[in-house]
Amino acid sequence: MEKPKVLLYESMHQKGVDYLSEHAEIIWASGHDEDTICREAAEVAGIIIRVNGKATARIMDSAPFLKVIARHGVGVDNVDVAAATERGIYVLNTPGVNNQSVAEHAVGLIISLSKRLLRADNAIRNGHWDFRYTGLGQEIMGRTLGVVGFGNIGYRVAKICHSAFNMKILYCDEVLKPEAEKNLSAEKVEFAELLRRSDYVSLHVPALPSTFHLMDADAINLMKKTAFLINTSRGSVVDTTALCAALKAERIAGAGLDVYEEEPLSQNSELLKLTNTVLTPHIAAHTEEAMMAMSMVSADVMRVIQGEAPMHPVNAPN
């Protein structure tokens, strides 16, 4: 019996690839532009998409056998979910599997900025031992963390910071979180108040029209001059031009970023010219454990192709 075909936009952990190859014929995308994907998706029953490329209505219409589009990760902003639902195509993701890795990365950015670790590393590599006298950091203990978007990852960041550093937790979310308020003594506040009171602002919201440039010039200017901004969510949430202006003028103390409005980050980016930033290339979820778990979205893809109900549907297709 001929195996169903599944198109992979990019490579993933070998465990997921091995599982998929047992049950399907893997087609590797030769490019991420729409024309290439339309051509290579013509006979596939499933698509697995990571960061690069999109799953558009046109691509779906070019794939008459398509039953499922799976996102290797949580955010589905590069999938036209409405179009998939109309066409009876399942959209899947991998919720929860990278919570710990992303949360640890956010906390790592907080520590690195507070202790000036990258500046200290650069100083000693360049023979500037005297940085130990001028490069004063700050202690995190007892300071205030503001979490914007108090979902699973935001909660995990708050829990680590509260447990390890006895931090005061403020959060801004559409939903009241009584468990967090009980366990972490967290306080729900309005967005503007969170910005004014926090020593660290950590962003954990999806890419939506309502969150586009949530951190614009007005929002950034509400932050303390001594505060740090952390973004491990989506690049579009932060107005890069406004952030660079604030960092240059030292209107805030610094920023730790793992995501950017344009990826990969241009080598001409103003962010690279600043010394009060810590920048990483969208790797917060890239741990062995998380990558392995996300790759097993392949099992959920096969459930749909074989006519079974998926474990993690994003939509309810017509």
What is the domain-level CATH number for residue 145?
Answer: 3.40.50.720
Query: What does the pLDDT average to over 25-37?
Result: 97
* 74/132 same-domain check: no
Instruction: Give the span between the Cα atoms of 78 and 138, in whole angstroms.
Output: 39
* 145/261 same-domain check: yes
* 275/149 same-domain check: yes
Q: Which of 128, 282, 286, 303 is catalytic?
A: 282
Q: Which of 234, 251, 261, 286 is catalytic?
A: 234
Mean pLDDT taken over the chain: 97
Output the pLDDT for position 1.
Answer: 73
Q: How many domains does the chain have?
A: 2
pLDDT tens-digit map of 211-252: 999 999 999 999 999 999 999 999 999 999 999 999 999 999
The answer to whether residue 139 is domain-embedded is yes
Buried residues in 20-35 as b, exposed as e (16+ CB within 10 A): beebbebbebeebeee
* 292/215 same-domain check: no
The answer to whether residue 314 is domain-embedded is no
* 130/87 same-domain check: no
Q: Which of 179, 190, 262, 263 is catalytic?
A: 263
The answer to whether residue 196 is domain-embedded is yes
Output the pLDDT for position 256.
Answer: 98
pTM: 0.88
Place of tokens 């000036």: 116
* 69/127 same-domain check: no
Place of tokens 């079974």: 308
* 293/263 same-domain check: no
The answer to whether residue 316 is domain-embedded is no
Q: Quick one: 116 exposed, middle or buried, by C-beta within 10 A (0-12, 13-18, 19+)?
A: buried
The parent domain of residue 208 ranges over 99-279
Active site residue 288: no
Place of tokens 């507070």: 114
The answer to whether residue 310 is domain-embedded is no
**264 prior amide bond cis, ω within 30:** yes
Active site residue 282: yes
Element (H or E) spanning 26, and its range? strand 25-28
Active site residue 263: yes
